[in-house]
């Protein structure tokens, strides 16, 4: 199998570094319950809602589906009620991550170490909140040392979330790397489209929640990050 010659490896977080979405789902539900809301997302609900990237955007979409009158009174995902709910969800999620409730995906530690050995720059490109990324790196200091990442581009850093390519354009700009000298690793259709939209080749590795996604735009589909390790080169 032909390998990849690259200067930078740009990694997605949710579903790529770790199987995080189940904890996200549980924490959305806990935040709803604490606020006295009668909402609870099942696995099937969450799989469908994941098509909307960004937690606050996801809440607004859901309110529009179940309580259109309440949704009409909201100022979109910037609404203070949505912000408060999401801030509580983020707090609960980060606590769970710091307690070690999410494991890294198979092969991720080896992939990051190999990139480092080869002098390939590392970056994060995610729609999730910065606090969530920092909690994950803090929880896995040996596999994912913060200092190894040249930049973390997170949900707060862009105006438009994936599948918009803005997060990848910003990562490339901060890295000072041409798109064709980078490689993205993504687990979802939205992530693949974001990378390709910025001209970055992408390897898709489906996760628990994205196994049924359309990966036809990806340059390669692999089963785990471990398969990518021997394909890396400069
Ligand atoms: C991840 C997301 C995020 C997370 C929740 O997408 O869409 O919204 O589900 O995080 P990707 P927040 O893996 O493509 O970056 O609640 O902080 O948004
Ligand atoms: Mg993802």
In a domain, 43, yes or no: yes
**Dist CA 88 CA 54 (whole Å):** 15
CA triplet 65, 67, 72: central angle to 5 degrees? 95
How far is ligand 1, taken at its centre, from the CA of residue 52, in Å?
Answer: 9
Ligand closest to 47 (CA) is 1
| Ligand 1 site-directed mutation target among 12, 25, 52, 53, most atoms within 8 Å of CB | 53
Q: What percent of the chain has pLDDT over 70?
A: 100
CA 194 – CA 10 distance, rounded (Å): 12
Query: Across all residues in the chain, what is the average pLDDT?
Result: 97
CATH number for the domain including 188?
Answer: 3.40.50.1000
CA dihedral 38, 44, 48, 52 (to 10 degrees): 60
Q: How far is the CA of 181 from the centre of ligand 1 (A)?
A: 26
Pocket-testing residue among 92, 128, 163, ligand 1, by greatest number of atoms within 8 A of Cβ: 128
**Together in a domain, 12 and 28:** no
Together in a domain, 77 and 179: no
Ligand 1 centre and the CA of 24: distance in Å? 8
The reply to whether 173 falls in a domain is yes
Whether 109 and 207 map to the same domain: the answer is yes
Is the model's pLDDT at 8 over the cut of 70? Answer: yes
Would you give the DSSP letter of residue 104? B
Domain boundary, last residue among 98, 130, 156:
98
- One domain, residues 42 and 155: no
Residues 28 and 113 in one domain: no
pTM of the model: 0.96
- Checking if the pLDDT of 169 tops 80, the result is yes
Q: Would you say 213 and 188 are in contact if contact means Cβ atoms under 8 Å apart?
A: yes
Phi then psi for residue 152, to 5 deg, are: -115, 110
Domain termination residue (choose one: 77, 98, 119): 98
Residues 13 and 78 in one domain: no
Last residue of a domain, one of 98, 117, 150: 98
Residue 125: phi and psi, rounded to 5, are: -130, 105
d(CA 197, CA 199): 5
Q: Which domain holds residue 188?
A: 8-19+104-231
Is 94 in the same domain as 178?
no
Confidence of residue 1 (pLDDT cuts 50, 70, 90): low
Q: How far apart are CA 35 and CA 191, in angstroms?
A: 31
112 lines ligand 1 (CB under 6 A): no
**Domain presence at residue 3:** no
Q: What is the mean pLDDT of residues 172-194?
A: 98
CA neighbor of 195 nearest in space, from 6, 8, 12 = 12
Would you put residue 193 in left (φ > 0), alpha (ψ -120 to 50) or beta?
A: alpha
Helices (H), 124-178: 130-139, 166-175
Atom index in ligand 1 nearest the CA of residue 188 equals 14
Compute the radius of gyration of the chain from its Cα atoms: 17
**CATH code where residue 52 lies:** 1.10.150.240
* 40 contact partners, CB below 8 Å, separation of at least 6: 29, 32, 33
Read off the pLDDT of residues 126-156 as tens digits, 9 standing for 90 and up.
Answer: 999 999 999 999 999 999 999 999 999 999 9
Same domain, 183 and 125: yes
Q: Is residue 2 part of a domain?
A: no
12: annotated active-site residue? yes
Same domain, 58 and 140: no
Same domain? 32 vs 138: no
- Residue 1: inside a domain: no
| Domain-located, residue 94 | yes
Q: Is residue 126 within 6 Å of ligand 1 at its C-beta?
A: yes
Instruction: Give the list of residues 6+ apart from residue 7 with CB closer than 8 angstroms, or none.
Output: 120, 121, 175, 177, 178, 181, 182, 234
Number of domains in the chain: 2
Phi, then psi, of 46 in degrees rounded to 5: -65, -35
> 14 catalytic, yes or no?
yes
Does residue 90 form part of some domain?
A: yes
Atom of ligand 1 nearest to the CA of 14: 13
Q: Which amino acid residue places its CA nearest to atom 16 of ligand 1?
A: 55
Residue 211 lies in a domain: yes
189 lines ligand 1 (CB under 6 A): no
Instruction: State whether 152 and 218 are in the same domain.
Output: yes
Judge if 125 and 12 occupy the same domain: yes
Is the distance from the beta carbon of residue 127 to the nearest atom of ligand 1 less than 6 Å? yes
Tell me how far apart the alpha carbons of residues 207 and 224 are, in angstroms, rounded to a whole number: 9
Confidence of residue 2 (pLDDT cuts 50, 70, 90): confident
As a whole number, mean pLDDT of residues 47-71 equals 96
């Amino acid at each position: 199998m032909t390998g990849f010659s690259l200067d930078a490896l740009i990694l997605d977080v949710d579903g790529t570094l770790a199987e995080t979405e189940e904890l996200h789902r549980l924490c959305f539900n806990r935040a709803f319950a604490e606020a006295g809301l009668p909402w609870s997302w099942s696995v099937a609900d969450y799989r469908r809602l994941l098509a909307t990237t960004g937690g606050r955007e996801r809440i607004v979409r859901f309110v529009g589906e179940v309580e259109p009158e309440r949704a009409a009174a909201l100022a979109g995902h910037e609404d203070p009620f949505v912000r408060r709910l999401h801030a509580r969800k983020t707090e609960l999620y980060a606590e769970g991550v710091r307690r070690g409730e999410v494991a890294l995906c198979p092969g991720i530690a080896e992939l990051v170490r190999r990139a480092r050995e080869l002098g390939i720059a590392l970056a994060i490109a995610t729609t999730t909140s910065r606090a969530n990324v920092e909690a994950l790196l803090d929880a896995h200091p040996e596999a994912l040392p913060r200092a190894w990442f040249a930049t973390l581009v997170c949900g707060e850093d862009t105006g438009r979330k994936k599948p918009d390519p803005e997060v990848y354009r910003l990562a490339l700009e901060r890295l000072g790397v041409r798109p064709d000298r980078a490689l993205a690793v993504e687990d979802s259709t939205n992530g693949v489209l974001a990378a390709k939209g910025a001209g970055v080749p992408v390897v898709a590795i489906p996760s628990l929640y994205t196994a049924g996604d359309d990966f036809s735009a990806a340059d390669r589909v692999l089963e785990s990050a471990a398969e990518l390790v021997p394909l890396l080169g400069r």
